[in-house]
Amino acid sequence: MQLLDELPMLYSATIILFILVEAKYGAQGKWFPNLLAAWLATTTMIFSTTSGNIQFFTFQTTYTILQFAMIAFLRLLHVQQRSLKGPNPPISRLIRRALGFALFAVSIWLIDLKACEYVNGLTGKSVLRWNLQLHAWWHVFSACALYHATMLVVYYHYDVKTNVGYKSNRSQSGKNAAPGVVVGGQEQELQPYIDHWVGIFPVIRLRQSKQV
């Protein structure tokens, strides 16, 4: 059951890393997805054949590295796009929400890991009379953080493709061109923007670019 918890987290983080690298540096060729696939196969084998501290620290180290890589690439893309297009308050709010959920989730996880007997409501040392189920809440808030981070990845994936000069540099080969629609016989680019489903959940949508 532990693998059903850890492996999907690892797979999701690796997919996000793949998208961010190609958003920043363009298509890397077959070697890059093949390398990531081999990486996932190796880590899956390690997690499936070990237990205890080896499995715990291997997963924590691997996942932490992937998370810091994701943060680094998101930071690079944010600075790059901000320099090209100026401040983007909706994106800044999305970043703050992602970081807020992540920090809160990690805080809950650390409390559950290091001070479980004092807050689980089950032992004589517990200062609470009920179990707060902190590990379950860690999953809830880490999922919220990952969802917001995924929305940032989706946004930058499309936003990079609508940079001034980006399409002209790649349009000749037809690779990595921005998505478009045909209006009045001419193809027009679509740009990403942040919307909110039921006024709460951020989603990324595409709309017709003002630049033709």
How many other C-beta atoms lie within 10 A of the C-beta of residue 187? 12
C-alpha to C-alpha distance for 44 and 56, rounded to whole angstroms: 13
Binding residues: 135, 139
**Dihedral class, residue 29 (left if φ above 0, else alpha if ψ from -120 to 50, else beta):** left
Instruction: For tokens 């929305």, name the residue.
Output: 151
Binding residues for Zn(2+): 135, 139
How distant is the alpha carbon of residue 129 from its chain centre?
A: 37
C-alpha to C-alpha distance for 80 and 94, rounded to whole angstroms: 17
Distant-in-sequence, close-in-space partners of 207: CB < 8 Å, separation ≥ 6: 190, 191, 193
Own/partner pairs for 46-51, CB < 8 Å, 24+ apart?
Answer: 47/3, 47/6, 47/7, 47/10, 48/3
